[in-house]
Amino acid sequence: MTDLHAIEPHLASDPEQADALIDLSNVVRDTGIGGSHARSLDRLGLVVDALARRTGDRNVMVYALADRSLRHSVHEYPGRLEPALLTGWVRAGLVEELSDADERLLDLAEMLGLPVVSRDGFADFRLTHPWIQGNTTQFLAPAPTRVRAVKLVERDMGTRSPAQISRKLEESDLKAHGLLAGRNRKPMTEVVRRYWRCPERGCTLYDSRKGSAVLLPRMRRGVPVCELHRTPLTDDGPRTGITQLKLLVDGVCVQRFTLDADSTVLLGREPGPGGISLYGHVPPDRLRPISRAHLSIRVSAHAVDLRNLGGNGTLLLSNGAGRPTPLADQDYVRLHVGDTAELTDGVHLTRSGRRFPAEIAAAWRGRHKHQSPPKSASARTVLGPNPADNQ
Ligand SMILES: [Zn+2]
């Protein structure tokens, strides 16, 4: 991607619409890719291209967060256009700018389960975000391939010992803040599984009864607060887990469907009340081979399963597998992130990189089963004599 203006359509104004989170300050200053300038927006373009290849979606969406200082040092950019463009994106709400973006970035990553593109080790945040310890799946590093192309490589975040963590904290001014947050912090997975209500009269930002999408609370020192009023939110009951599916036509995402956990829905040309109709999203000539009810989609707290109902069948291409296999008519088959279901030529269903809240906890259980006891346990001793109280 050489045209910087081509990046803009990939910038989501809402993290819920994104396929990945971008640590923009880190990517823009990553001299390992995209030329030798100290800062370059072209690197964001290269990362977006790599994500498009990775997800199979040419319209892949990213949510970018930047430190305020990224727009400074204008002379470090190849030209004046770049910081001006960045300023425009910040003003348009396409880049979220904070004095220090890391904490918000990690909060979002934990809440949404979205991958994070960054080379940062986030050493200062191992106490407040113990889920980073030993993580080998959620952080992606850009790496150069051929000239001017980039691929994304899963990073092994490793574990930092309590000594390393406290040394790093002493080096930074985050020490008091980090320890405070570590003690009072509500686990993000717990926050995201509840509805919240702002105690200010007339504030409906988080009102689950207004019908539309509900904002995720902003975290401040481990406490969910109202974005507008900055007051701590009150617990408003359990929230249904969700999952997000993407409908791709010729490799372009044309629609995202958000489904509640513990539900089964039909998807097809015209599946009837409560179903997901492809009419209007898929061109008429492609709709013809698709049955009225083509797929049954079963969403549970931990997984998405598919069963073929279509007369012409459905193909499932598993992530990394060479050739697709026909989906069974009788049994449900799991659709993992990275898998693709083909309804007909050029019409695909995938899961967004976003895992639903309940699945974040499940993923942790799964990892712990396969690995030796979490080395992060050693880090937890820093938190206090009874880590369970903090978790
Ligand atoms: Zn409020």
Residue 43 and residue 27 in contact, taking contact as beta carbons nearer than 8 Å: yes
H-type helices in the chain, by residue range? 24-28, 42-55, 81-91, 102-112, 162-171, 175-184, 188-192, 284-287, 357-370, 376-380, 387-390
CA neighbor of 62 nearest in space, from 11, 102, 116: 11
Residues 111, 155, 370, 350, Cα dihedral to 10°:
60
What separation in Å is there between the alpha carbon of 229 and the centre of ligand 1? 5
At residue 44, what are phi and psi to the nearest 5 degrees?
Answer: -65, -40
How crowded is residue 31: how many other Cβ atoms within 10 Å of its Cβ? 12
Separation of alpha carbons 30 and 53, rounded Å: 20
What separation in Å is there between the alpha carbon of 210 and the centre of ligand 1? 14
pTM: 0.67
What separation in Å is there between the alpha carbon of 107 and the centre of ligand 1? 20
What separation in Å is there between the alpha carbon of 218 and the centre of ligand 1? 11
Residues in the chain with pLDDT values less than 50: 173-183, 211-213, 356-391
What separation in Å is there between the alpha carbon of 37 and the centre of ligand 1? 43
What separation in Å is there between the alpha carbon of 207 and the centre of ligand 1? 10
What separation in Å is there between the alpha carbon of 66 and the centre of ligand 1? 25
pLDDT of residue 262: 80
List residues, by chain if needed, whose CB lies under 5 Å from ion ligand 1. 198, 200, 203, 226, 228-229
CA neighbor of 255 nearest in space, from 36, 76, 17: 17
pLDDT of residue 391: 30
What separation in Å is there between the alpha carbon of 237 and the centre of ligand 1? 17
pLDDT of residue 27: 98
pLDDT of residue 258: 75
What separation in Å is there between the alpha carbon of 227 and the centre of ligand 1? 7
Separation of alpha carbons 294 and 61, rounded Å: 27
What separation in Å is there between the alpha carbon of 182 and the centre of ligand 1? 25
